[in-house]
Structure 1
Amino acid sequence: MRYLTFSVDGRKTFGAVTGGGVADLGKRTGFASLKDLLAGDAPEIHDQPDYSLGEITYLPPIDDPVHIWCLALNYPEHHDEVQAAGRVQELPKQPALFARARDSLTGHEQPLRHPGVSEQYDFEGELAVVIGKPGFRIPAAEAFAHVAGYTVMNEGSVRDWQFHTRQITPGKNFLRSGAIGPWITTADEVSDVDSLRITTTVNGEVMQDDRAGSMVHKIPRFIEYVSSIAPLYPGDILATGTPSGVGFSRKPPVFLREGDMCEVAIEGVGVLRNRVGRD
């Protein structure tokens, strides 16, 4: 099943993709939000949609997570390209963790916001995990039981701000600099996470192309690590890191400009599409 949050006719709601459109589960069920639905029993979905996909405005699938945890340097070839740029040394022995704020992300087909104060605005296609079952200090062997599903993230980074100091958080949290969506594909529809192919294109040119199996710290270790810090809640988002091919490591660098179209595709999960705008 594919679940999403959206607005239609000035009203925010959530639903499921079915019959070529969207069933409005905010209207059909007693759940208050998609977070509540993920934590409860999934309702039976009939094929008859309430809206076509063209009628809705996509919002981040979970627009109010308690946590958005992200991994840096979680693909060996990406580490190598960052190391070649003189930014890091060894591969992290532990997950290299940082957090994003929820207003740093926008939805599918919504404009990414160019930072304005920098011209080093970069793309990062990533697989993101969405938590369904809460837990604290979750053992790696039990981690997948806490996964509701998967979505796509463009973890947009403002590189000069990221490298102002050893703390990368500023460059990762510019308003609407990243995107997530278009929906959550439930875990039962993804038989082999490691086989998922992640590709990022900018204006139709392939920039990143790898599989999730290349991760250094796999999803069970990620869940174990972050749930040792604080409990995980339904709707929490865990972005698993980006493959090689990011813009700042290229010669010459390729940064996002106003009007560029960026797409991140993860086979079996979805395609996240955003054009770069500027306020």
Structure 2
Amino acid sequence: MKLVSYKFKQNLGDLRIGFIINEKVYDIQEGYRQLLIFRQEEDLANAVDTVLPADPDRFFSIGESAIERAAEAYNYIRVSDSHFTAFHLEDLYLSNPVLNPSKIICVGKNYADHVAEMKSDLPEYPVLFAKFNNALIGPEDAIEKPEVTTKLDYEVELAVVIGKETSKVSQEDALDYVAGYTIGNDISARDLQKRTPQWLQGKTLDRSTPIGPWVVTSDEMTEPSDLAIRSYVNGEVRQSSTTSNLIFDVPYLIEFISNLITLKPGDIILTGTPDGVGFAMDPPQYLTGGDVVTLEIENIGKMVNKVQEPE
């Protein structure tokens, strides 16, 4: 399934969780409610929010059981002769599918070619840092470039969404704890990032980090280790690689991180970026107001964001 966080452009209201079938969005909770009615479970249908919330935050925080019920609704809608209301993507605003994760854990220096272009050394262990929720925006939002930086850079990354609480999981079992995958842009203010040994100040600026456009559930993407990954700025290819070039792959990262930190449903791991960032170009090419950044990962899709400077 492709899980989206959506609301209507003409009547914004609250965000709801949906899934995409044939390029149209269906409401997950309503689909599951109709399934319960079909099963003659009217009492549960009338209290559907208690088992399958429409709110994306609550949905992802529940994790595995919510995704399993969503899959039941998805399969019911696909095969049922009943009429279900579907929404056209152009009528909807898509938000970051995972709005308020308890943790956003980022991995630096995780592609050898990127390590080389940054004139750094290959890491012995994963290089971890954090972002906070203030940085997150959706796939249709503008990346805000504040006056405090003149060196704003792009980084396309495979993002992993955790589906079950886990601590000290093995690599062999790690993918069983993944809800799905999406695209992240680890926007980095290089001048702020590099003025101290700690990177945080250059990595979590307000409204700087797009996530989306949807989460592809792990049942449809069982192998994240060989996905083409690219970024474009104003249509020009900047980064082009594959996740097979990760120094520390997804199972290793989940094992490593979960031995340090308990991972919760809805947590996000940004797995690192390949070479081709603006900082390493000659001369460097940083983002400015009006630039359009397109990120693409195989089997997930594309995410397009415009850069916006203060007025």
TM-score by length of 2: 0.85
Which residue is 1:189 aligned to?
Answer: 220
User: How far apart in 2 are the matches of 1:11 and 1:54?
Assistant: 18
Candidates 62, 86, 99, aligned match of 2:130: 99
Candidates 295, 303, 310, aligned match of 1:272: 303
Candidates 21, 25, 31, aligned match of 1:22: 25
Which residue is 1:209 aligned to?
Answer: 240
User: How far apart in 2 are the matches of 1:196 and 1:93?
Assistant: 24
Deviations 1:169-211 (A, max 9, x none): 1100001111110000011222432220000000000000000
Show the 5 A alignment for 1:1-279: 1-8=1-8, 9=11, 10-29=13-32, 30=49, 31-32=52-53, 33-36=58-61, 38-40=63-65, 41-43=68-70, 44-45=73-74, 46-47=77-78, 48-83=84-119, 88=120, 90-279=121-310
Residues 20 and 49 in structure 1, CA contact (< 8 A), matched pair in contact too: no
User: How far apart in 1 are the matches of 2:59 and 2:296?
Assistant: 23
Residues 18 and 49 in structure 1, CA contact (< 8 A), matched pair in contact too: no
Bigger Cα Rg: 2
Describe the SS at the equivalent of 1:136. coil
| Aligned residue type for 2:260 | I
Give the superposed CA RMSD. 1.4
Distance 1:259 1:97, change over 3 A: same
User: How far apart in 2 are the matches of 1:129 and 1:123?
Assistant: 18
Report which stretch shifted further, 90-99 or 8-17. 8-17
1:267 deviation in Å? 1.1
Gaps of 5+ in 2: 33-48, 79-83
| Runs of 4+, deviation exceeding 4 Å | 26-29
Residues 149 and 184 in structure 1, CA contact (< 8 A), matched pair in contact too: yes
Deviations 1:237-272 (A, max 9, x none): 011000000000000111111001001000101211
Deviations 1:225-246 (A, max 9, x none): 1112221111110110000000
Report which stretch shifted further, 46-55 or 262-271. 46-55
User: How far apart in 2 are the matches of 1:237 and 1:194?
Assistant: 17
Quick check: which one's helix share is greater?
2
User: How far apart in 1 are the matches of 2:200 and 2:69?
Assistant: 36
Residues 4 and 34 in structure 1, CA contact (< 8 A), matched pair in contact too: no
User: How far apart in 2 are the matches of 1:127 and 1:34?
Assistant: 21
Describe the SS at the equivalent of 2:157. strand
Residues 115 and 158 in structure 1, CA contact (< 8 A), matched pair in contact too: no
User: How far apart in 2 are the matches of 1:259 and 1:113?
Assistant: 11
Q: Which gives a bigger RCO, structure 1 or 2 (Cα 8 Å, sep 6+)?
A: 1
| Aligned residue type for 2:101 | P
TM-score by length of 1: 0.94
User: How far apart in 1 are the matches of 2:61 and 2:273?
Assistant: 29
Deviations 1:57-102 (A, max 9, x none): 111111011111010000000000001xxxx3x2110000001101
Describe the SS at the equivalent of 2:225. helix
Residues 115 and 177 in structure 1, CA contact (< 8 A), matched pair in contact too: no
